[in-house]
Amino acid sequence: SQQGEEDPQALSIQEGENATMNCSYKTSINNLQWYRQNSGRGLVHLILIRSNEREKHSGRLRVTLDTSKKSSSLLITASRAADTASYFCATALGGGNKLVFGAGTILRVKS
Amino acid sequence: DADVTQTPRNRITKTGKRIMLECSQTKGHDRMYWYRQDPGLGLRLIYYSFDVKDINKGEISDGYSVSRQAQAKFSLSLESAIPNQTALYFCATSDPGTSTDTQYFGPGTRLTVL
């Protein structure tokens, strides 16, 4: 079964609005990562947050992690049409293990 | 030039045919992975290799085999393709030295089995 589950499955917003996507997971993790996928293309790493961190920023991206609730959120501020893509969370269990990906959130930003 | 390349990018084949998908990387990473992506299911791990002599089954290895010919090359084979193997296939790499397991993906191969 998948470790990460994203919510919502799909999100449609207007350009300039903020987009928030959530990820829940089941077991203890070493870190949690967010990836972006443009339609039919490979995934691109966006940001990583370690288990001992609570919040991290990168440009217009803000990631939070709540290990007590086993959940993370990705906030994209001031969204642009070019942000239209699928976003996946992936959990790393540590110890040189592989990543486990969720099913993704499809984000559509309308101009 | 792309760091992780996949060939072919698109392939249409018939049931029962043998298919090989190839992945090459110039990142110098020891670890390589093969995933398939189906709509609504995210990525599922087929096989992974932590070095040239190491091959491991992933979540959905049945019907697939792999070969790690060199550090830079990792190929996925479908010995006898079936229609439910129609999917988007991705190769990825990671560097164990970073301890983060961050992965770098190829552009994908769209496979259709008729």
Shortest Cα distance from B78 to chain A (angstroms)? 21
Distance CA A63, CA A18 (A): 13
Q: What is the DSSP letter of A27?
A: S
Residues paired with residue B24 on neighbouring β-strands, in sequence order: B5, B73
- Which tokens belong to A49? 């947050």
Q: Do A42 and B88 touch (CB under 8 A)?
A: no
- Predicted pLDDT at B99: 72
Rounded CA-CA distance A68/A65 in Å is: 9
- What's the confidence (pLDDT) of residue A69? 95
Provide the 10 A C-beta neighbour count for residue B96.
13
pLDDT less than 50: residues of chain A: 1
> Measured between CB atoms, does A59 come within 8 Å of chain B?
no
pLDDT at residue A1 in the model: 44
* Predicted confidence pLDDT, tens digits, chain B (114 residues): 579 999 999 999 999 999 999 999 999 999 999 999 998 778 999 999 999 999 999 989 999 999 999 999 999 999 999 999 999 999 999 987 777 788 999 999 999 999
The residue in chain B having the minimum alpha-carbon distance to the alpha carbon of residue A38 is B107
Round to whole Å and give the CA distance between B87 and B84.
8
**B55: contact with A, CB 8 A cutoff:** no
Assess whether the previous peptide bond of B8 is cis (omega < 30° from 0).
Answer: yes
Residues of chain A contacting B43 with CB distance shorter than 8 Å? 43, 88, 101
Interface contact flag, B106 A42, Cβ < 8 Å: yes
> Contact at 8 Å (CB) between B103 and B2?
no
Alpha-helical (H) ranges within chain B are: none
| pLDDT confidence of residue A94 | 65
Determine, for residues A31 and B45 on separate chains, whether the beta-carbon distance falls below 8 Å: no
DSSP A101: E
Contact B108/A33, CB-based, under 8 Å?
no
Provide the edge-to-edge strand list for the sheet that holds B19-25: B4-7, B19-25, B73-78, B65-70
Tell me which residue has tokens 């300039």. A16
The answer, for A26 touching chain B at a CB cutoff of 8 Å, is no
Cβ count near A108 (within 10 Å)? 14
Token representation of residue B12: 């249409």
Return the pLDDT at A95: 61
- Most A CBs within 10 Å: which of B10, B38, B101, B112, as the mutation test of the A interface? B101
